[in-house]
Structure 1
Amino acid sequence: MIAINGRFLTQGLTGVQRYAREMTRALDALVATGAAPPMRLIAPPGAEGLEAFPNLAPSLTGTRGGQLWEQLDLPRAAGGDFLLNLGNTAPVAQGRNQAVVIHDAGVFDTPESYSWKFRNWYRGLQRMLVFRGARILSVSEFSAGRIAAHLGLDAARIGVTLEGGEHILREAADAAILERHGLTPRGHALVIGTGAAHKNLAALHHAIGALGERGLTLAVAGAQDAAVFRQAGAPPAPNLRPLGRVSDAELRALYESALCLVFPSRYEGFGLPPVEAMWCGCPVIASRAGAVPEVCGEAALWFDPALPESLGEAVALLADDAGQRGALAEAGRARVQQFSWEQAAQRLLGFLPR
């Protein structure tokens, strides 16, 4: 039997946890139809949402939490079962009887985005997992190549699962967020991100300027500090709307009403927001960096992260050309048909013992 590491059910929802939740949901559905072998979900005390996985016999086990639970309690609970770890980390003691999905090589490639304790722990743990023979998986060919380079592996032996994005359509759009923040349909561009260095949000002052010249707004979901988006010493832009954290229903409304999604990140292991946006018919402007070109193909309007002014030019082009916006939206809808969680789960199963 395959056991799934359910530590993600005690963690906040970021891209990694989104992947783990949606992949587990998709595996649960495949088990229900007999398209996947029997599996069970093992979670630490305090885990929430186990009822979403009725076909995985979910259970709570152990007395610890966090890394101690994962390293000490989880391997005992897994016993002789093959262990599937979906969130970058795994118990060293499980040795080669497990697979771990490492989402990117950011702790090596963009160390400035992490504390020294975090990056040293991740680097050491991942090297130890490789040494112990764990099966390594990832979410894009780009990430597989970077992980292989840093961990001394053959990239061809790292299984690539990809991701999905149709979860954003699960809930009806909550348009109340638009009125609450003074946003109008096609009157704003959307950004999703945090202040982490590799997200490159400081480059957005060029987009803010291009939008402001046209009476348009930049709405920023997921970030609290407006200072991240402007040049040092500059006053706050009047057309900037920091939204903070938003629900999936609110995010869907933002995607569906936005002029476009602006995705300036200079390093991504996959790039989930552009895929979500494309599922909602929202045109995408993105930095040609990391795994994003692999994911978006020709369905995005690209800018050069080394030339931040090119972001302003791209925003101006899309704001002024409704035909271009429509063409990108259609290209995006076609592109994301290959990025569903069911397809990703089926790919994942191909890398696991049957």
Structure 2
Amino acid sequence: MIVIDGIIFSLQQQGGVSVYIREFYNRCIDTGIDTRLLLFEQKLISRLSVCPHTTNTIKLRYLRFAERYRRCITPTDTKLFHSSYYRLPQSNKTPSVITVYDFTYEYFSSGIRRWVHSSQKFKAIREATAVICISENTKKDLLRLMPAVSQEKIRVIHLGASDSFFPLEKAFSIKKTFVLFVGSRFGYKNFAAVVCACGLLPDIELVCVGGGGFTESELLLLEKSIPGRYRHEGIVNDNRLNYLYNIAACLVYPSSYEGFGIPVLEAMRAGCPVVALNLSSIPEVAGNAAILLEAAEPELLAKAIEQVTDQNFRQEIRQKGFLQSSRFSWDHTFDQTIKVYEDVLGYTLPRNIV
């Protein structure tokens, strides 16, 4: 039996890691892989059990104090353990797989917060039987920070984007009056530069999704730069997000560092042009299908936003986006991850023929 540690669902309500684990778990169930997902809060079961046949594949565990930092108690018949967020199984004899997403804490945090996170992550990487990196860039960072880790146990497996994202009929002809900003707005995400860029474009509004409500300092900047031309959609479902991608002028995603960048793929699948930075994993994901800037400067961002309003250019970059995003899928992520499991276990996992 494969055991997936669902601790990530207790740590975030929405995010790329949660999407990844949910997509993978659903495919395990759909293909008949003998899998159990460990959850630590009753309310999460109804959220994740979207189909009746998944209920008996979820195991509810008591949420211990500091659960996220402790070794995971697994069922006695566990053959392999895969943590969603840098944990190890209680038994050292149980083979384990760790997925490494990025090194954001190591590059952008400091003090006790960074020390606690990095200590847990590095220990999990060292002791894991196999390590999955979600991009070549993440693998490069891992080997830079942990050169003693054997490359032989590292596999790069890209993430995907949901089929929920697709072009809507007639959306192309709708006038694009806003740019979309998705996710957290921490310093390295360069949110302030986006606000200032919109300030240079009097006909463009800014719509944000996720990342929590605006802080006091963000509201001060927004009111100073683009008063009355911004709004926060909060946490939205895939249908709403797909609609926003379809009617936005572009996704502005000028993050200085990403482990992968799922919103880039989502936007491309929906036919939404992407403006991002030519840094970290983004070129690996976006290819030649996005406007990739060398710096998150308001003037450069504003010029790129203006560029995607040209209908000929917009049509060209949309077609490139459809092609590029088709190279990534959750099915491929699933297949490659199962191969890692089988290499660790030394045998082929039985599954249904679908």
State the secondary structure of the residue aligned to 1:137. Answer: strand
**Matches for 1:130-279 after TM superposition, within 5 Å:** 130-152=125-147, 153-155=149-151, 157-169=153-165, 185-212=175-202, 215-223=203-211, 224-225=213-214, 227-228=217-218, 234=224, 236-279=226-269
CA spacing shift, 1:52–1:66, aligned 2, 3 Å: farther
Residue by residue over 1:90-128, the C-alpha shift from the partner in whole angstroms, topping out at 9 and shown as x without a partner, is 12634461101110011112226xxx4442222101222
Partner of 1:40: 36
- What's the CA shift for 1:13? 1.3
Q: Could you tell which deviates more after superposition, 260-269 or 194-203?
A: 194-203
**Distance between the aligned counterparts of 1:198 and 1:210, measured in 2?**
21
**Distance between the aligned counterparts of 1:258 and 1:78, measured in 2?**
50
**Distance between the aligned counterparts of 1:159 and 1:142, measured in 2?**
12
Partner of 1:179: none
Is the contact made by 1:210 and 1:316 (CA closer than 8 Å) also made in structure 2?
A: no
**Distance between the aligned counterparts of 2:80 and 2:114, measured in 1?**
27
Task: Report percent identity of matched pairs.
Answer: 23
**Distance between the aligned counterparts of 1:237 and 1:336, measured in 2?**
35
CA spacing shift, 1:235–1:306, aligned 2, 3 Å: closer
- What's the CA shift for 1:208? 0.3
State the secondary structure of the residue aligned to 1:147. Answer: helix
- 1:338 corresponds, among 321, 324, 327, to 327
- What's the CA shift for 1:61? 3.8
- What's the CA shift for 1:231? 5.3
- What's the CA shift for 1:308? 4.0
State the secondary structure of the residue aligned to 1:244. Answer: coil
**Distance between the aligned counterparts of 1:269 and 1:260, measured in 2?**
21
CA spacing shift, 1:23–1:66, aligned 2, 3 Å: farther
**Matches for 1:81-100 after TM superposition, within 5 Å:** 81-85=79-83, 87-91=84-88, 93-95=90-92, 97-100=95-98
Q: Which amino acid aligns with 1:219?
A: V
- Count matched residues: 332
Q: Which amino acid aligns with 1:25?
A: N
**Distance between the aligned counterparts of 1:131 and 1:325, measured in 2?**
46
State the secondary structure of the residue aligned to 2:341. Answer: coil
State the secondary structure of the residue aligned to 2:49. Answer: helix
Partner of 1:25: 26
Partner of 1:125: 120
Partner of 1:315: 305
Is the contact made by 2:179 and 2:205 (CA closer than 8 Å) also made in structure 1?
A: yes
- What's the CA shift for 1:78? 5.4
Partner of 1:4: 4
Higher relative contact order (CA 8 A, sep 6+): 2
**Matches for 1:282-297 after TM superposition, within 5 Å:** 282-297=272-287
TM-score, length basis structure 1: 0.83
Q: Which amino acid aligns with 2:132?
A: L
